[in-house]
A and B are shown apart, each in its own frame.
Chain A
Amino acid sequence: MKRILIVITVGLLLITGCGSKQPSEREITFWAYAPGDQARTQQVESLVDKYNQEHPGTRVKIFFVPKDDFNTKINTSIAVGANPDCSYLDSGLVSRFAKDNILFCLDDFVNAGDIDLKDFYPGAMKMVKYDQKYYGIPLNQTCVALFYNQELVKKAPATWDELLQTAKEVYVPGKVAAFAVPKGDGYGGWMFPAFVASAGGTMLNDTETKATFNQPAGLAAINLWVQLLQYSPRLITDSANAFELGRVAMTLNGPWAIEGIKTNFPKLKYGIALIPKKVQYATNIGGESLVIYQNTQDPPAAWDFIRYLMLDENQVVMSEVSGNFPVKKTLINHPVFKDDPDKKIFMEQIQYAVSKPTVESWTKINDEIIAKAIDEALNQRLGIAEAFNKAAKECDSILDEEKQ
C-alpha cells in the first residue's frame, strides 16, 4: 500500500513539477476564486499584471478556481504538496488550516507594521487568528441584512417587537407571507448566531468549551423565529423567487442577491435595512482571507503581493469583483460604497458582524445538532427549551471530546 502511495505521489509531483521555473525570476503562484464573469476576471488579471510590471524580478501567476470546487481542490493540492504559494481561503477555514501547520504565520509581517491592524474590522480579524497569532489577512467580508418589499412594508422594522408587529400586519393568509423564516439547514445555522447575538447572547462560551445557545438569548432568538413562522407559511415561502414576486414581505439576504433582483425583477420595489435588534444590532459574517502556505519558498515575496492587494484602491476592486465588502474601516467613506444606498446599508450592517465559533467541529455541530434543534422547535416537535437543552448537552459532549 505504501509503495503505491509513493508511486502516485511521485507521479503527481513529476507532472506538476514540469513547469520548471526560471532561476532569475521568482515566481509566486496565487489561487483565487473565479469571478462570475469575463469582465471581472479581467479586472483581477489587470491588477496582477500591474503588480508584475511594477516588480521586475517577481512574477505572480494567478489561477482561477471555481468557488464551489475551491476547498476540495486546495485540500487535494496540499495533500500532494502541489499547493500554491498563496491563495484565497474561506475565512472560517483559516484557523483549521493553521492548526494543521499548513499556513505560514504572518505575525512577523503584521508586527513589523506592514499593515495597520486598527484599520480592520475586529470581527473579520478574529476569524484569521489561531493560538493568538495571525495566519491570514481578511480580503473581503459579507453578511446578511433585511430585505423588505416597500409596497408591503411601509417602514422597515427596527426592533424585534416591530418586526413581529409588521409580520402580523402584512400577513394575508394564502397570499402574502410575512418573513422567510430560515430553516434548520446549513444556511439557517449560519443566520442563527446573529439573532442570538442580537439578544445579547453567544453560541459558545468565551473559551469555546461549553454551549451557551440554550441560555435566555438563544431561546429568545428561536422563539422569535417560531412566532414569525405563524405569519409565514412555508407553502408560500418555499416557492421559487417568493420574495422577488411579492409573495414574501421580508427576507434575510446578502449583497450577492442585489444584482439578480435588479436584472430579473426590475419592477420589485425593495428596501434594505439593518436586521431588527433586540438589545443590539448583529449580523453574521462570511468572506475570504489571503493566506501564505508553510512550504512556500519565498514568504516575503508572497506577503508583498498580499500587501499590494490590501492597498485601498485594490481593496475596492477586489470587493467589487466578489460582490462582497472591504474589511478596512476607512473605506466606508469611499464613494463606491457611500453613494450606493444598498451598499451603504451593508457597510453599516457589517460593523455589527459576529464571527461564528472557530472550533474544528463547528460545521458538524451546526449541521447535526443546532440545525436539528432549530427544526424541532420550528416544527413544534419539541418545546423550545427542551430542544435547545438537549442540543446543548450533545454539543458539550462533542466539545469535551475535541479538547482531549
Chain B
Amino acid sequence: MPTTNFLQSKKFKDGLTGYLFIMPLLVYFTIFVLIPILISFYYSFTDWNMRSAPHWTGLKNYAELLFNAQKQPYFWPSLLVTVKYIVLRVPAGLALSLILAMFLNSRIKGENFFKLCYFIPMITSAIAVAVLWKWLYDPIIGFINQFLAGFSLPPKNWLNDVSTALPSIAVMGVWQGAGYGMIIFLAGLKGIPEELYEAAKIDGANAWQQFWNITLPLLRPVTFFLLITTIIGSFQVFDQIYVLTSGLGGPEHSTFVYILNLYNQAFRYYRMGLACAMSYILFVIILAITWVQFKYVPQNAD
C-alpha cells in the first residue's frame, strides 16, 4: 500500500525528524505569536477595555485614528516624531557600525576583546541602558555636561529641552545598536576576497577608492539587511523613551513616539481595540516601507 510505503520512506522520516526539531519553536510561535496576532486583528475592529466584552465597531477605530485629530491629537504627530527618530538613528547607526567593523577588520590586536566591548550594550537590557544614559545626560552631575564645562561650554538640559531630547535619545540608540551592526558588517567584510584589493592596489587605487569601489558595493547585501532591520526596530522604539521621559514622551511630547502612544492607549486609557488598530496601521506602514526598499534600494553586490 502506498501509505505504508510513504510512512516508512526515508523522505517521510527525514521530514518528521525535521519537524520534531522545530516543534518546540513552532508551538511557541503559534501560541504566543501567531494566535495573538490574529486575535488582535479581530480586536482592532472592536471597542474593548480589556474588562467587559468587546463590541464590534467595524472601522471606527481606524477612522478615529486617521481622521479625527480632535480625539486623537497625537496620532500623526507621534508618527512624525518616530520618522524623525529614524532619520537621526538609522544612517548614523549604520555608519558607526561600519566604521567599527572596518577598524576591527584591520587586523588589530585584541580583536575579540573589542568585539565583546562593542557588543555588550546590545545584550544589556534597554532599561539599564536608559538609566545609565540618564546619568550621563544629567544637567549637573552628568558626565557630558562636566566634559563640556572642561571646554568652558555652557551646560544643556539634554533630555528636557525640546530641541535636544530626541537627538539625545537617538544617540543612545546608535550607541546601543552599534555592536550588532558591527558584527554583521564584520562578517560581510571577511567575505570580500583579498585579491580584489590587491588588484586594485596594482591599478593604483588609493584607500578611499578601494573603499568606495570595492568595499561598499560588495557590502550591499549586508547593508540592505541592516537597513531593513534597523528601520523596523526604530519604528518600534519604546522602552528607552518610556523610562527617560516619564511615560508621556516629554518635554512637550517631543519624544512621544508611535509605540508610546499605542502603549498609553492600551494600558493607560484602556482602549485595547484602538491600540490593536494602531498596531495594524504600523504593520502596514512598515510593510510598505520595506516593500519600497526591496524595490528601489540596490541589494545585490554586482
Given contacts A186-B248, A240-B138, contact A234 B52 (CB under 8 A): no
- Confirm or deny: B270 has a beta carbon within 8 angstroms of a beta carbon on chain A: yes
Counting CB contacts under 8 A, is A14 at the interface?
no
Is B250's CB under 8 angstroms from A184's CB?
A: yes
Contact of A186 among B49, B141, B246, B252 (CB under 8 A): B246
**A185:B49 contact, CB within 8 angstroms:** no
Decide: B267 and A379 in contact? CB cutoff 8 A: no
Per DSSP, chain B at the interface is loop
In the bound complex, residues from chain B placing their C-beta under 8 Å from that of A247 are 140
Name the one of B73, B157, B269 contacting A234, with C-beta atoms under 8 angstroms: B157
Find residues 359-386 in chain A having any chain B CB closer than 8 Å to their own CB: 361, 363-364, 367-368, 371-372, 375-376, 379, 381
Asked if A79 and B268 sit within 8 Å, CB to CB, the answer is no
Q: Which residues of B contact A97 (CB under 8 A)?
A: 51
A252 at the interface (CB under 8 A from B): no
Q: Inside 8 A of A368's CB, which chain B residues have their CB?
A: 73-74
User: In whole angstroms, what is the CA distance A21 to B239 when docked?
Assistant: 41
Residue of A8, A79, A398 touching B71 (CB-CB under 8 A)? A398
> Do residues A1 and B38 form an inter-chain contact, with CB atoms below 8 A?
yes
A171, chain B: closest CB distance, angstroms: 16
For A96, what are the chain B residues with a Cβ–Cβ distance below 8 Å?
A: 270
Q: How far, in whole Å, are A78 and B49 apart by their CA atoms in the complex?
A: 11
Q: Is the CB of B267 within 8 A of A183?
A: no
User: Is the beta-carbon distance between A238 and B139 smaller than 8 angstroms?
Assistant: yes
Minimum C-beta distance from B250 to chain A (A): 5
> Which of B39, B138, B155, B267 makes the CB contact (< 8 A) with A72?
B267
Q: Does A52 contact B (CB under 8 A)?
A: no
Contacts of B252 in A (CB 8 A): 184, 372, 375-376, 379, 381
Chain A residues whose CB sits within 8 angstroms of the CB of B157 once the complex forms = 234-235, 238
Kindly state whether residue B251 has any CB partner on chain A within 8 Å: yes
Contacts of A184 in B (CB 8 A): 248, 250, 252
Evaluate contact between A371 and B35: CB separation under 8 angstroms: no
Cα(A187)–Cα(B49), bound, Å: 23
CB contacts (< 8 Å) of A361 on chain B: these are 269
Looking at chain A's contact residues, the main secondary structure is helix
Contact between B140 and A75 (Cβ–Cβ < 8 Å)? no
B240 an interface residue at 8 Å Cβ cutoff?
A: no
**Interface residue from A363, A371, A394 paired with B268 (Cβ < 8 Å):** A363
Query: In angstroms, how far is the closest chain B Cβ from the Cβ of A236?
Result: 7
Say whether B251 contacts A75, CB under 8 Å. no
B244 shortest CB reach to chain A, Å: 12
A210 to B277, CA, bound (A): 30
A338 to B: closest C-beta gap in Å: 35
Q: Is the CB of A239 within 8 A of B138?
A: yes
The total of Cβ contacts below 8 Å across the A-B interface reads 94
Q: Closest residue of chain B to A364, judged by CB? A: B269
B294 within 8 A of A: no
In the complex, B42 has a CB within 8 A of chain A: yes
Residues of A within 8 A of B135 (CB): 240
Closest Cβ of chain B to A51, distance in Å, is: 28
Q: Which residues of B contact A75 (CB under 8 A)?
A: 49-51, 270
Q: Are A185 and B250 in contact (CB under 8 A)?
A: yes
- B155 near A367 with CB under 8 A, answer no
Contact of A240 among B49, B74, B141 (CB under 8 A): B141
In the complex formed, the residue of A with least CB distance to B248 is: A185
Knowing A185-B250, A367-B248, A379-B252 are in contact, say whether A236-B50 is a contact too (CB < 8 A). Answer: no
Tell me, yes or no, whether B236 is within 8 Å of chain A by CB.
no
Let me know if B234 is at the binding interface, CB within 8 A: no
**Separation in Å of the A284 CB from the closest CB of chain B?**
17
Is A4 on the interface with B (CB-CB < 8 A)?
Answer: yes
* Chain B interface bracket (under 10, 10 to 19, 20 to 34, 35 or more): 35 or more
Q: What is the size category of the interface that chain A forms with chain B?
A: 35 or more
B247 at the A interface (CB under 8 A):
yes
Chain B residue numbers with a CB within 8 Å of A235 are 139-140, 155, 157
Residues of A within 8 A of B35 (CB): 4, 8
A375 → B minimal CB distance (Å): 5
Contacts of A5 in B (CB 8 A): 39, 42
Enumerate B175-208 residues with CB–CB distance to A below 8 Å: none
Task: Identify B160's interface contact among A76, A101, A238, A367, CB under 8 A.
Answer: A238
B60 in contact (CB, < 8 A)? no
C-alpha spacing A376/B253, complex, angstroms: 11
Chain A, 253-274, CB within 8 A of any chain B CB: none
A206 within 8 A of B: no
What 0/1 pattern do residues 261 to 281 of B give for CB contact below 8 A with A? 000100111100000000000
Residues of chain B within 8 A (CB-CB) of A76 are 50
B70 proximal to A (CB < 8 A): yes
Q: Which residue of B lies closest to A187 (CB)?
A: B246
Q: Which residues of A contact B250 (CB under 8 A)?
A: 183-185, 375
B264: which A residues are within 8 A, CB to CB?
A: 367
- Report the nearest B residue to A99, measured CB to CB: B52
Q: Which of A73-113 contact B (CB under 8 A)?
A: 75-76, 78-79, 96-97, 100-102
Interface: A205 (CB within 8 A): no
Per-position 1/0 for A191-234, Cβ under 8 A of B: 00000000000000000000000000000000000000000001
CB B144 to nearest CB in A, in angstroms, measures 13
Most B-side CB within 10 Å, residue of A4, A75, A398: A75
Residues 161-190 (chain A) with a chain B CB within 8 angstroms: 183-187
In the assembled complex, which residues on chain B have CB atoms less than 8 Å from the CB atom of A101?
52
Residues of A contacting B42 in the complex (Cβ-Cβ under 8 angstroms): 1, 5
Cβ contacts under 8 Å, B73 to chain A: 368, 394
Additional 9 contacts, C-beta under 8 A, given A236-B140, A238-B160: A8-B35, A102-B51, A185-B248, A238-B159, A239-B139, A240-B138, A242-B140, A363-B269, A364-B269
**What 9 A-B pairs are tightest by C-beta distance, nearest first?**
A239-B140, A75-B50, A100-B52, A1-B42, A185-B248, A185-B246, A375-B252, A235-B139, A78-B51
Pairs across A and B, CB under 8 Å, 18 listed: A1-B38, A1-B39, A71-B267, A72-B267, A79-B51, A97-B51, A102-B51, A183-B251, A186-B246, A186-B248, A235-B155, A238-B138, A238-B139, A239-B139, A240-B134, A367-B248, A371-B248, A397-B70
